[in-house]
Amino acid sequence: MEWWWWWCCHRWGFSSGSCWELLVPCEDLNLILTVCLTSVLSAAQHAPAWIPYNPNQSPPDTQARHLKLQNSPSPQMTLLTALGLRRKNDWEPPTLLDSLLISPLHLLVTIIYSILLFLRGRPFRPPRDKPAIRVVCLSDTHDQINVRVPPGDLLIHAGDLTNAGTADDIQAQLDWLASFPHQHKILVCGNHDSFFDLSARRPEDRGKTLDFKGIRYLVHDAVTLEFKGGRRLKIYGSPDIPACGGPEMAFQYDRASPPWANTVPIDTDILITHAPPKHHLDLGLGCAGLLEEVWRVRPKLHVFGHVHWGHGRQTVHFDDCQRAYENLIAQPPRGLVRDFFPHSGWLGALRVLGYGIHGVIWKWLMIGPGGNTSSLMVNAAQMYGNTGRLGNPVEVVDL
């Protein structure tokens, strides 16, 4: 059986349902991998399930979906998932095995890029001659209020207040947010907050209104706020998000036609969106169009949510290193074996490393540790992954 299996893979370019890419330029490696995989599956008493795979047809705009996760997973995929070796769906972080099967090169470059960001230090420091503005960032609370919200000057909620998006559920969240003493509060809705989008609003909610209680709701517009010490911040908010659900989801757009180009004011200090930009705290599910708009505007702080497992913060420098990293990760992954054969991704990895080392040297020798030249992205999702409970720490940023 092994020879027949290998011959079919070699002849027609088949791959398994869990994306074991066996079609590589080395027949010995093909045979070795096939025999090893056969042994593992036989030991588990599962028959292999094969599906046709065309490497030129990758699912739209996300490297994570190159895994070819199926609605009805194959037996070996179910076993590996049950053992915790593979993730269940695109909304969970890839395991080490997932990352290796997708692209060892992408995994290596991501680790290197994270180290380079760490070596370059914090993106900015508050001004010494004026009071810092403390920004408290929330997102994806999904009807829950058991969150310890730290004090601050500005409270931001980046969407998905609720699950069902009804007027009553949203009002309960507004009442909760209004109870905090922050000087300013800003809200952008998420795809689950269907009441805010007339095309997604439930019939029983038509005609109802909300009491925002001093909370500023931003939808494709900006506001300039004043803080102590005479400081001012311009904040732009938009709820638009790549289509990810049915008609009950709010403010969805076709991923192939992002609406972001030249929409954000160039002098924006804080950008708030529900969707993440591509390649940053997004598990590969973010929007490439939003990323390009962020490159154009370069806000000091970008707050978003939506992808729960992407929670955290990441420095962005808008330099050659970042562009090289994004370009490399955007390339279709080649799989566990083919990544080890020479291809253009190797050159991209060297660019990331070279530009990154240059950035570290420039940072410490020319600008110094107190340099105030970069920006910060924050995924403020409070929901702990797909568990249905809150658990992520609240992100606090001093500007």
Q: Summarize the chain as % helix, strand, coil (round to 5).
A: 35, 15, 50
Considering the chain, what is the average pLDDT of its residues? 82
Q: pLDDT digit string (tens) for 182-194? A: 999 999 999 999 9
Between residues 142 and 125, which one has the greater pLDDT? 142
Rounded to whole angstroms, how far apart are CA atoms 84 and 99? 13
Report residue 73's pLDDT band, with 50, 70 and 90 as the boundaries: low
Q: What pLDDT was estimated at residue 49? A: 33
Q: Rg (Cα) of the chain, in Å, rounded?
A: 23
CATH number of 133-318+374-398: 3.60.21.10
In sequence order, the β-bridge partners of residue 271 are 236, 302
Q: What pLDDT was estimated at residue 69? A: 36
Q: What pLDDT was estimated at residue 325? A: 96
Residue 53 has pLDDT above 70, yes or no: no
Q: What pLDDT was estimated at residue 342? A: 82
Other C-beta atoms lying within 10 Å of the C-beta of residue 326: 20
Strand, coil or helix: what is 282? coil
Between residues 42 and 397, which one has the greater pLDDT? 397
Dihedral sign for Cα 287, 288, 294, 300, please: positive
Residue 304 has pLDDT above 90, yes or no: yes
Q: Is 322 left (phi over 0), alpha (psi -120 to 50) or beta?
A: alpha
Between residues 102 and 68, which one has the greater pLDDT? 102
Residues 6+ apart with CB under 8 A from 330: 63, 278, 279, 288
Give the Cα-Cα-Cα angle 222, 214, 290 (nearest 5 degrees): 30
In sequence order, the β-bridge partners of residue 146 are none
Report residue 204's pLDDT band, with 50, 70 and 90 as the boundaries: very high
Rounded to whole angstroms, how far apart are CA atoms 272 and 194? 18
Q: What pLDDT was estimated at residue 57? A: 38
Q: What pLDDT was estimated at residue 372? A: 58
Tokens 């007027």 locate to 167
CA proximity to 197, closest of 275, 251, 252, 259: 251
Q: What pLDDT was estimated at residue 128? A: 87
| Tally of residues, the chain | 399
Structure tokens at 190: 């998420």
CA proximity to 302, closest of 268, 327, 326, 325: 268
pTM flag (> 0.75): yes
In sequence order, the β-bridge partners of residue 361 are none
**Average pLDDT over every residue of 233-262:** 95
Q: What pLDDT was estimated at residue 47? A: 33
CA proximity to 124, closest of 366, 356, 301, 357: 301
Residue 48 has pLDDT above 90, yes or no: no
Alpha helices (H) in the chain, listed in sequence order? 2-12, 27-43, 75-82, 96-102, 104-120, 167-178, 288-297, 320-330, 344-362
CA-based end-to-end distance of the chain: 64
Give me the amino acid identity at 381: A
**Average pLDDT over every residue of 342-362:** 91
Strands, E assignment, 41-89: 50-51
**Average pLDDT over every residue of 281-298:** 96
The residues spanned by each domain of the chain are: 2-101, 133-318+374-398
Other C-beta atoms lying within 10 Å of the C-beta of residue 388: 10
CA distances (Å), 294 to each of 84, 289, 299, in order?
36, 9, 7
